[in-house]
A = this chain, B = another copy of it.
Amino acid sequence: MKKEITIGIDIGGTNSVMGAVDRDGNILGENRISTTDYPDIHDYVAALHEAIQEMLKSIREETELKAVGIGAPNGNYYHGTIEYPPNLIWEGVIPLCDLMSKYFSEPVVLTNDANAAALGEMIYGGARNMKNFIIYTLGTGLGSGIVINGEVLYGHTGFAGEIGHIIMVPGGRDCGCGRQGCLETYVSATGIVRTVEELLAQRRLASPLRRVAPDRLTAKMITDAAKEGDAIALEAFDKTAGMLALSIVNAVAFSSPEAIFLFGGLSNAGKYIFEPTEKYVNEKIQTIFKGTVKILPSLIPENNAAILGASALAWKELEKRDV
């Protein structure tokens, strides 16, 4: 019997990566194309198809393709469209699933990257037995995927799960969304850099972080400084954790998940982010929810997460259509 596979595709601003993945999360083949090489979306889809055929060449004999899953910024699951993506070269509403269906007879489904990460966690990662959980993806911004009763929460519009754009501080830091005080301006790789900048202005402490231009300061440098015991870096993690904990406590009041997973960038700071976050969650959580929610690192390796998440979307779709 042939081994069943799905294809996971992650569309990034610069590159698009794809992989052929079996039900256990083994990646049997990989390929990539440059996203920016194809200003015409039809050319892009043709190039994607070609790259997939090339990837499948050596495994076609022993595998059977079941479905294609795509993770893309502003991806809308309901419509199979990418809508007004800020960081892609195409504009407006792109009917990607329709365009792909000209090349594939198998189901083609699409969602945004954070929802794909949630599905990756549910199919291959630490949420395999969970029905209610949330994943926070802590990169340049803060993405989130919310799972309720075993299903990704898409809401009325298909765009639910924008925890990064919950306003935490009215009139607070300017956000890329045009508003102010959104969670991602505090809790993300760029958010902690802004917190360090504020602290450097506020405190008189010496710190190696003073020697770096704000434009060049990275979350990684802050983590390294924290490991050396730098007080500014440690305070920045403490403040970031405080805001993250407030967001978690409020998310628990809303949807009462079993676990919150932290993924990517900032979550790699390990105990510097997890320990204070747990402490503040325990302090701030409403009594009826005490002890009901775990805060866990994602179990999906970061370098494969995008492909695995997109392929998980495809497996999940097959489950749904089977019912």
The answer, among B155, B167, B292, for a CB contact under 8 Å with A257, is B155
The answer, among B153, B178, B250, B256, for a CB contact under 8 Å with A255, is B153
A249: which B residues are within 8 A, CB to CB? 167
B159 pairs with A289, CB closer than 8 A? yes
A132: which B residues are within 8 A, CB to CB? 155-156
Residues of chain A from 80 to 102 with CB closer than 8 A to chain B in the complex: 83-84
Q: Does A258 contact B (CB under 8 A)?
A: yes
Interface digits, A142-185 against B, CB 8 Å rule (1 contact, 0 not)? Answer: 00001011010111111111110111001000000111000000
Range of interface residues on A (Cβ < 8 Å) = 35 or more
Q: Does A253 contact B (CB under 8 A)?
A: yes
A289: which B residues are within 8 A, CB to CB? 157, 159
B157 pairs with A292, CB closer than 8 A? yes
**What is the CB-to-nearest-CB distance from A159 to chain B, in angstroms, rounded to a whole number?**
5
A157 pairs with B288, CB closer than 8 A? yes
**What is the CB-to-nearest-CB distance from A137 to chain B, in angstroms, rounded to a whole number?**
15
Q: Does A58 contact B (CB under 8 A)?
A: no
Q: Does A15 contact B (CB under 8 A)?
A: no
Report how far A74 CA is from B179 CA in the complex, Å: 36
A256 pairs with B159, CB closer than 8 A? yes
A254: which B residues are within 8 A, CB to CB? 146, 160-163, 166, 251, 254-255
The answer, among B83, B250, B258, for a CB contact under 8 Å with A156, is B258
Q: Does A246 contact B (CB under 8 A)?
A: yes
Q: Does A32 contact B (CB under 8 A)?
A: no
Q: Does A131 contact B (CB under 8 A)?
A: yes
Check A284/B154 contact, CB under 8 A, given A146-B254, A161-B254: no
Q: Does A286 contact B (CB under 8 A)?
A: yes
A253 pairs with B156, CB closer than 8 A? no
Q: Does A287 contact B (CB under 8 A)?
A: yes
B177 pairs with A255, CB closer than 8 A? no
Report how far A161 CA is from B288 CA in the complex, Å: 12
A151: which B residues are within 8 A, CB to CB? 149
Residues of chain A from 2 to 41 with CB closer than 8 A to chain B in the complex: none
Check A287/B177 contact, CB under 8 A, given A166-B253, A246-B170: yes
Instruction: List the B residue with the shortest CB-CB distance to A253.
Output: B162
Instruction: List the B residue with the shortest CB-CB distance to A134.
Output: B254
Residues of chain A from 225 to 253 with CB closer than 8 A to chain B in the complex: 246, 249-251, 253
B286 pairs with A255, CB closer than 8 A? no
**What is the CB-to-nearest-CB distance from A195 to chain B, in angstroms, rounded to a whole number?**
16
Q: Report, nearest first, the 5 A-B pairs whose CB atoms are least far apart.
A: A155-B256, A160-B256, A156-B258, A162-B253, A132-B156
28 A-B interface contacts by CB (under 8 A): A83-B288, A84-B288, A131-B156, A132-B155, A146-B255, A148-B153, A148-B155, A153-B255, A155-B257, A156-B256, A156-B292, A157-B256, A157-B288, A157-B289, A159-B256, A160-B255, A160-B256, A161-B254, A162-B253, A162-B254, A162-B286, A162-B288, A163-B254, A167-B246, A177-B287, A254-B254, A254-B255, A255-B255
